[in-house]
Structure 1
Amino acid sequence: MFAKPIPGRTTAAREGDAVVLLIGMRINHFWAVHQWFPVMLSMFRMLAELARDPGRGLLGRVLLTASPRTYYVVQYWESKEKLYAYASEVGLLHHKVWGAVNRKEKAGKLHAHVGLWHETYVAPEGAYESIYFDMPEFGLGAASGVVPVERRGRYAKDRFAHRSVGNSAP
């Protein structure tokens, strides 16, 4: 099912900091399906776990591929504190998976068939902006909703200034 485009120009309705996590994997050896496929499944299982409990702080996500070997998820979070809490909470899938990875690494049984990576960015309010033109809600706009661009400014410099330090005008 395809989302219907929103006519005209919109911008993300996000208020406050924007927390973005890029997390992914690289298949180093395609033939080692028994190594990389469980990693891929784990990511989908973690996303499903987060979707079942919106209070954990995941606002939205976009699944992407950078190459036939590299797959990743752009995740938008309410706060870095909620991201950290999910990552470290005993009993949740991320904690279990990383525990298994760490045990394999210590035992010398971790093979380089699949690479793992993540990058986390916290963009303070006033340090990010967005524009979507004849697009369905996407990215930060899908995670936080969108507003007509006129509410934040037609130009990028205006959208940056909308919530910059010292400017609390709606």
Structure 2
Amino acid sequence: MTHRHDGELVVFHIGLEIHRWWRPDVWLPAFMAMPAMLRELFADPESALRGADVLIGRGGPYVVQYWSSLDALYAYATAPESEHRPAWTRFNKMARRHPGAVGIWHETYQVARAETMYVSTRRRGLAAATEAIPVTARHDRARQRIADGRTA
């Protein structure tokens, strides 16, 4: 399988880096904020969040999110009524009280082209966030899929 998508696509990575594992009182509130945000976004049919994968990295958990619009991502991040705003305020207060205990990082990508391949896996990543389609003979090589601009 591969994916197909027309229109804007944004991939957003956000992670929690836990520096003091022995201080769950400091990092647990930030850790618990992300599931609340994801529930809020997935419950809203107007949300531009198209999919998300929760992963564990070297420093802690992170989420890869797939959005249909950069403007929608920024609108959610700044909306005073969203779960994000109070969580961000709480994190900043905690970070000032306990510097270096926990960190937050994120990266945002506007995707012009993407190549994907899924063999014997559940729908995940771009295939889950957009549309999963069979790989045809015309697109059975990565170079062909990226040249065709499946996400453009």
TM-score, normalized by length of structure 2? 0.89
For structure 2, the 5+ residue unaligned runs are: none
State whether structure 2 residue 62 is matched by structure 1 residue 76: no
Q: Note if 1:156 corresponds to 2:142.
A: yes
Q: Does structure 2 conserve the Cα–Cα contact (< 8 Å) formed by 1:23 and 1:74?
A: yes
Q: Could you give the per-residue CA deviations for residues 65-124 of structure 1, whole angstroms, max 9, x where no partner exists?
A: 113x4110010001111101110111111111223334556xx42432111111111111
Q: Is the 8 A contact 1:14 1:141 kept in 2?
A: no
Give the superposition deviation at 1:134.
Answer: 1.9
Q: In 2, distance between residues paired with 1:42 and 1:140? A: 24
Paired residue for 2:89?
Answer: 99
Q: Percent identity?
A: 36
Letter in 1 for 2:88: W
CA distance in 1, matches of 2:27, 2:126: 29
Name the aligned partner's letter for residue 67 of structure 2: W
- Cα deviation for residue 128 of structure 1 reads 1.1
Change over 3 Å in CA distance of 1:115–1:160 after alignment to 2? same
Count of matched residue pairs: 151
Give, in whole Å, the separation in 1 of the partners of 2:138 and 2:22: 50
- Tell me the distance in 1 between the aligned counterparts of 2:138 and 2:34: 35
Counterpart pick for 2:16 among 25, 34, 37: 25
The 3-state SS of whatever aligns with 1:133 is: coil
RMSD: 2.0
List runs of 5+ in structure 1 lacking aligned partners: 1-9
**Greater CA radius of gyration, 1 or 2?**
1
